[in-house]
Each structure stands twice: as structure tokens, then as C-alpha cells.
């Protein structure tokens, strides 16, 4: 009998709900709350991660390494000697040495002329590149002339393309004899190869 009563009550409630009409008259508004919160700082967990151990060191191995060895030997060769006098000047013996460094191909450097102008000498050499590769190595080449003359200032000029080496900054490089300035062109030729 109790079950009948419960079923009848549920049926009555369902009937009452379905038989009425519900309209929303106001919109929902939540109450405003002013909250003052204080908290203690938290703590993130720490992890201990084991990772591979890397050790960097060196060891000695025998490998083939190409080496270029340049041996300087003294030899007896013919060296030009220029002997000239200037009125009222004492002569001194000196070596006029012009040198440059090349690094792409072997080359030859030959003194072609020495010119004199007032108190200056112009040593003019020609740089001719060869066909043999230096494989990135540098090679210093030179030529020289012995001079018996008064003590004069010397300017070294190389006809040819300037190799890109810091050592070569002490020389003046020009493409051809035509590129020499008039002062040098008009100087007296005292030696010609």
C-alpha cells in the first residue's frame, strides 16, 4: 500500500508540472563577493634526472700529415753589381733585395730595372706566376742586385698582381710599366736586365 501511495504522489507531481506554464521574469544575477585572499608560496617538486656522462679528452694517434720543408742552402751564383758615381758623394756597397710571398702557384720574381732620380732609387721587378700549385702553402721569393752607389732612399716596385699576403704591403704593385707615374718613368735607368 505504501508503494501505491508513492506512485500516486509521483503521478500527481508530474501532472502538476506538465499542466503549468513557466515564464522567466528576471535574469539571473549572482551576488558580488569581495574576497581578500592571502596565501603562502608554493613549492614545485624537484627531480633528480640521471643522464649520460660525457668525458672530453685527447689521445695520441699516428696519422699521415703532409709537410713541406724548405731548406735554405748557400750557393755560389752570379749576382749583378751596379757601380755608379755621383759628384761629391761617397759610395757604399749595399744589397738591393726585393721579395714577396705567393701562396696559390709558384712564381718567379726578377729585377728588370733600377732607376735613379735625385735622391731615390727605384727597383722594378717583374712577378710571373707559374703553373705549379702550392696547395695553400706560402712561398717567399726574391731577387737581388749588389749596388755600389751613394746612400739613397730605395722604393721597391713589382710589376704584376699583388698576392693577398700581409707581408707584401711593403712593395708597390702595378699592372704594367705603363702604370708607373711620370717621376719614375722619367728617372734615369742605371741597370737593365
Query: What distance in Å separates the CA atoms of residue 145 and residue 142, rounded to the nearest whole number?
Result: 11
Q: Is the dihedral of CA 101, 80, 122, 88 positive or negative?
A: positive
Query: Would you state the cell numbers that stand for residue 16, as one nine-digit string?
Result: 502538476
Q: pLDDT tens across 136-189, in order?
A: 788 888 888 888 877 888 999 999 988 876 677 788 999 999 999 999 999 988
pLDDT reported for residue 179: 92
Q: Identify each DSSP E strand in 59-138 by its residue range.
A: 81-83, 92-102, 105-117, 120-133
pTM: 0.58
Q: Of 94, 83, 188, whose CA–CA distance to 144 is shortest? A: 94
The region, left, alpha or beta by phi > 0 then psi within -120 to 50, assigned to residue 23 is beta
Query: Measured at the alpha carbon of residue 109, what is the angle toward residues 105 and 114, in degrees to the nearest 5?
Result: 160
Q: Of 87, 155, 158, 169, whose CA–CA distance to 115 is shortest? A: 155
Percentage of residues of the chain with pLDDT beyond 90: 17
The bridge status of strand 105-117 relative to strand 81-83 is: unpaired
pLDDT reported for residue 159: 94
CB environment 85-107: b (16+ within 10 A), e (fewer): eeeeeeeeeeebebbbbbeeeeb
pLDDT reported for residue 56: 59
Per-residue pLDDT band at 9 (split at 50, 70, 90): low
pLDDT reported for residue 104: 84
Higher pLDDT, residue 137 or 34 = 137
Amino acid at each position: 500500500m505504501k508503494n501505491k501511495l508513492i506512485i500516486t504522489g509521483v503521478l500527481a507531481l508530474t501532472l502538476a508540472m506538465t499542466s503549468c506554464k513557466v515564464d522567466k521574469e528576471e535574469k539571473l544575477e549572482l551576488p558580488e563577493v569581495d574576497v581578500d585572499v592571502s596565501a603562502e608560496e608554493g613549492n614545485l617538486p624537484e627531480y633528480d634526472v640521471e643522464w649520460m656522462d660525457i668525458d672530453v679528452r685527447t689521445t695520441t694517434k699516428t696519422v699521415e700529415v703532409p709537410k713541406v720543408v724548405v731548406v735554405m742552402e748557400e750557393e755560389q751564383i752570379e749576382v749583378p753589381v751596379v757601380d755608379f758615381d755621383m759628384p761629391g758623394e761617397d759610395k757604399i756597397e749595399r744589397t738591393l733585395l726585393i721579395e714577396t710571398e705567393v701562396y696559390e702557384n709558384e712564381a718567379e720574381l726578377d729585377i728588370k730595372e733600377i732607376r735613379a732620380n735625385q735622391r731615390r732609387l727605384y727597383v722594378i721587378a717583374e712577378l710571373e706566376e707559374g703553373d705549379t700549385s702550392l696547395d695553400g702553402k706560402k712561398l717567399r721569393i726574391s731577387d737581388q742586385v749588389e749596388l755600389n752607389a751613394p746612400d739613397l732612399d730605395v722604393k721597391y716596385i713589382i710589376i704584376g698582381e699583388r698576392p693577398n699576403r700581409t707581408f707584401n704591403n711593403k712593395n708597390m704593385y702595378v699592372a704594367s710599366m705603363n702604370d708607373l707615374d711620370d717621376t719614375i718613368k722619367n728617372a734615369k735607368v742605371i741597370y737593365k736586365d
